[in-house]
């Protein structure tokens, strides 16, 4: 072997370390060999295998995660928790039934009240009153976020407005037709232009008539002969032709025959149409002029079929005095005279419907002294119909009275079997009489248009039960009407009472809350849920108005009970629980004394130790400045 293939040696003539194979160099000591193997296996040679191994371990943990968490829960679960998890017991908030937990350690995230125990699936919710569709409770933060604003239901002056198109027309009662009363020839036209203004008794035309000449001559001959009968016959004929008695006396006085008949205008106005020319021959009854007076005009409007139910029934045109008393107010504006409103009273409604436009014509008459309203001008017409002239409102009051009277009679019969029906129906009768009186004054219970949610099948209004709690009430409403400040309202026929606070702004968001969170909207139908809920978190920036809530809740109690609850102030069972903060307080009698509790879940605790409960009530009353009785 040549020197080139000889093993390389170090300067100290020791053999070079063997870097090949899977064994450590022979010249290394035990610790050196150990480091060599560590470097070979861990740090250098198996780096990729190490990465793959880590991936396999992570995948195994992911696949077995449920098993690992189950073992962890079993090892870390407190004593007695197995019984709670597997039993039929659950814990809920009496004020917010949607809050349900499986242990009593937590509190309600809305009102921070301790949770009460019940059997799993047991329904503790109360049924909704008739007419109430749903209920929902929102945290103060959600109320502020939704911009909820309320409004108190009251009686308001309302008017049903019907706005439609119309036009200015001639007053047919002030139109006159001038015709020839005798056959002859038009010699002179004193009024030669259409549209020319004329005054009463002004000359219109001069008519030459041979018959007139003969009759005048007969009149003069009868006077000379002294024939009274012939003279009267001639005078009567001249009168029929339009010759006045003064003209006849002038003929008899002068003895001159009048060969021309002067035709005069019967009224003051303007010539609407001229039918003849000078030199034209006319027969008896031939039209000469149409004259119309524009000092009064009609405004006629078209009312569509869906609005006909609100119109009164005028079978005959009303005269001015009648229209002032019972006529419906009506106003009109025209494009020709912007900024001016022409008001009057409805005088007539056509008895038939136009087949082409499917409308009925209504009209009213108004003065036009300056002739500013020109016939043919289009107009925007608004009819303002008071509630007392709408039949559906009176009918609704009568039906409501009949239903309430029947219900009152049934209740009194059950409560007073020995004197059934005594005084029955008197309360509903008084209520109906009051509503009728208000209706005659144009006042009706109403809600703003913004408060109404129309689902197609029904109309809802959200009523505030207490601060933060709202219920959707089904209402029967009348047509859209106009109230004070030209605000649109709906008259309430059924469903609400005067004094109810309803939501006017934010009602759609409240309704959306009941739809997006069905449990929130059905909490009084037995809705339930589990797990933690973060949808009703109270923000520090929007604290709950405790005093307003308590005041609104206690207001639902009778006056005597309300005063007692205000004196007691707090619940004797649940420490520091303010009466009214968790809903209407529950009243029970303990040894003949009334005791108010914050909620139903405290009833058993109060009845378990009556003496202790009465002692706590006495202390509460003393603390609030009264010893109580």
* Same structural domain, 166 and 145: no
Domain span at residue 377?
Answer: 161-171+294-385
Please classify residue 255 by burial: count the beta carbons closer than 10 Å to its beta carbon, then call 0-12 exposed, 13-18 middle and 19+ buried: exposed
**Is it the case that residue 475 has pLDDT exceeding 90?**
yes
Tell me, what's the pLDDT at 162?
Answer: 94
CA dihedral (538, 543, 547, 553) in degrees, to 10, reads -30
Give the Cα separation of 566 and 554 in Å (integer): 8
- Do 594 and 496 share a domain, yes or no? no
Contacts of 463 (CB under 8 A, 6+ apart): 470, 471, 472, 473, 496, 500, 501, 502, 503
pLDDT of residue 528: 34
Least confident of 159-173, 248-262, 282-296, 436-450: 248-262
Judge if 372 and 445 occupy the same domain.
no
Identify whether 145 is part of a domain. yes
Give the pLDDT confidence of 80-101 residue by residue, as tens digits. 444 444 567 787 776 666 677 7
Residue 203 neighbours by CB under 8 Å, 6+ apart? 190, 191, 262, 263, 264
What CATH code is carried by the domain that includes residue 305? 2.40.30.170
**431 and 517 part of one domain:** yes
Task: Kindly state whether residue 591 falls inside one of the protein's structural domains.
Answer: yes
Per-residue CA distances from 538 to 111, 141, 503, 582, 627 (Å)? 9, 6, 21, 16, 37
Q: What pLDDT score was predicted for residue 584?
A: 82
Measured on CA atoms in the order 72, 74, 78, 84, is the torsion positive or negative? positive
**Same structural domain for residues 469 and 586?**
no
Most confident segment among 138-147, 227-236, 479-488:
479-488
Q: Is residue 610 part of a domain?
A: yes
Average confidence score pLDDT of the chain = 79
Where does a domain end: 359, 385, 411?
385
Residues 362, 435 within the same domain: no
Helix (H, G, I), strand (E, B) or coil at 487: coil
Establish if 9 belongs to a structural domain: no
Which of 501, 518, 507, 512 minimizes the C-alpha distance to 467? 501
Domain CATH number, residue 437: 2.40.420.20
Instruction: Check residue 521 and give its pLDDT.
Output: 45
What DSSP designation does 419 have?
A: S
Q: Reduce the DSSP state of residue 156 to 3 states and report it.
A: strand
* Whether 352 contacts 302, CB under 8 Å: no
Which tens digit of pLDDT belongs to each residue from 371-416?
899 999 999 999 999 998 888 888 888 887 777 766 666 655 655 5
Query: 368 pairs with which residues across the strands?
Result: none
Q: Could you give the CA distance from residue 328 to residue 324 in angstroms, rounded to a whole number?
A: 9
In a shared domain, residues 306 and 333: yes
| pLDDT, tens digit, 9 for 90 and up, residues 31-75 | 877 777 766 665 555 566 667 778 888 888 888 776 777 666 666
pLDDT for position 373: 92
Domains identified in the chain, total number:
4
- Are residues 165 and 299 located together in one domain of the fold? yes
Query: CA 63 to CA 210: how far, in whole Å?
Result: 128
User: Quick count: other Cβ atoms within 10 Å of Cβ 151?
Assistant: 16
412 and 399 co-located in one domain = yes
Domain end position, chosen among 362, 385, 408: 385
Q: Is residue 483 part of a domain?
A: yes
**474 and 567 inside one domain:** no
pLDDT score at 598: 82
pLDDT digits (tens, 9 = 90+) for 324-353: 788 889 999 999 999 899 999 999 999 889
Is residue 205 assigned to a domain?
Answer: no
Same domain assignment for residues 70 and 50: yes
Find out whether 481 and 491 touch, Cβ atoms under 8 Å: yes
């Amino acid at each position: 072997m040549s020197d080139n293939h000889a093993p390389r040696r170090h300067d100290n003539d020791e053999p070079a370390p063997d870097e090949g194979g899977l064994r450590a160099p022979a010249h290394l000591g035990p610790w050196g060999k150990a480091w060599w193997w560590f470097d070979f296996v861990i740090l250098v040679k198996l780096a990729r295998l190490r990465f793959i191994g880590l991936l396999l371990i992570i995948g195994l943990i992911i696949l077995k995660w449920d098993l690992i968490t189950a073992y962890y829960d079993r090892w870390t679960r407190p004593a007695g928790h197995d019984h709670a998890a597997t039993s039929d017991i659950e814990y809920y908030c009496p004020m917010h039934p949607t809050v349900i937990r499986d242990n009593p350690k937590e509190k309600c995230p809305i009102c921070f009240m301790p949770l009460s125990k019940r059997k799993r699936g047991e329904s503790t919710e109360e049924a909704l009153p008739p007419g109430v569709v749903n209920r929902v409770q929102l945290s103060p933060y959600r109320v502020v976020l939704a911009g909820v604003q309320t409004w108190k239901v009251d009686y308001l002056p309302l008017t049903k407005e019907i706005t439609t198109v119309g036009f200015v027309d001639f007053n047919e009662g002030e139109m006159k037709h001038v015709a020839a009363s005798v056959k002859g020839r038009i010699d002179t036209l004193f009024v030669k232009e259409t549209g020319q203004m004329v005054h009463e008794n002004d000359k219109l035309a001069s008519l030459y008539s041979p018959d007139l000449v003969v009759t005048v001559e007969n009149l003069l001959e009868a006077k000379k002969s002294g024939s009274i009968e012939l003279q009267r016959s001639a005078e009567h004929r001249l009168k029929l032709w339009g010759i006045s008695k003064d003209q006849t006396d002038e003929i008899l006085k002068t003895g001159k025959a009048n060969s021309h008949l002067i035709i005069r205008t019967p009224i003051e106005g303007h010539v609407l149409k001229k039918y003849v020319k000078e030199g034209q021959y006319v027969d008896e009854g031939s039209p000469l002029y149409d004259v119309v007076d524009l000092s009064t005009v009609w405004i006629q409007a078209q009312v569509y079929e869906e609005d006909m139910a609100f119109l009164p029934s005028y079978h005959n045109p009303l005269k001015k005095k009648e229209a002032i008393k019972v006529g419906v107010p009506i106003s009109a504006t025209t494009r020709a005279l912007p900024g001016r409103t022409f008001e009057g009273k409805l005088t007539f409604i056509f008895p038939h419907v136009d087949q082409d436009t499917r409308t009925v014509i209504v009209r009213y008459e108004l003065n036009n002294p300056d002739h500013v309203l020109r016939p043919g001008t289009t107009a925007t017409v608004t009819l303002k119909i008071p509630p007392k002239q709408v039949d559906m409102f009176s009918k609704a009051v009568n039906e409501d009275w009949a239903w309430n009277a029947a219900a009152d009679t049934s209740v009194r019969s059950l409560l007073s079997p020995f004197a059934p029906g005594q005084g029955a129906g008197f309360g509903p009768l008084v209520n109906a009489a009051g509503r009728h009186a208000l209706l005659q004054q144009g006042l009706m219970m109403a809600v703003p248009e913004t408060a109404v949610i129309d689902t197609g099948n029904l109309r809802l209004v959200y009523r505030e039960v207490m601060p933060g709690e709202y219920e959707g009430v089904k209402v029967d409403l009348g047509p859209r009407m106009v109230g004070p400040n030209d605000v649109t309202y709906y008259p309430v026929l059924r469903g609400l009472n005067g004094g109810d606070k309803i939501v006017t702004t934010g009602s759609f968001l409240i309704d959306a809350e009941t739809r997006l969170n069905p449990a929130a909207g059905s909490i009084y139908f037995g809705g339930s849920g589990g797990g933690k809920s973060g949808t009703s978190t109270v923000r520090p920036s929007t604290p709950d108005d405790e005093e307003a809530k308590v005041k609104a809740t206690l207001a639902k109690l009778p006056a005597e009970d309300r005063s007692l609850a205000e004196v007691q102030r707090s619940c004797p069972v649940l420490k520091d629980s303010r009466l009214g903060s968790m809903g209407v307080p529950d009243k029970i009698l303990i040894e003949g004394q009334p005791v108010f509790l914050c909620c139903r879940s405290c009833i058993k605790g109060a009845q378990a130790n009556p003496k202790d409960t009465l002692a706590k009530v006495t202390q509460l009353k003393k603390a609030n400045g009264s010893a109580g009785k």
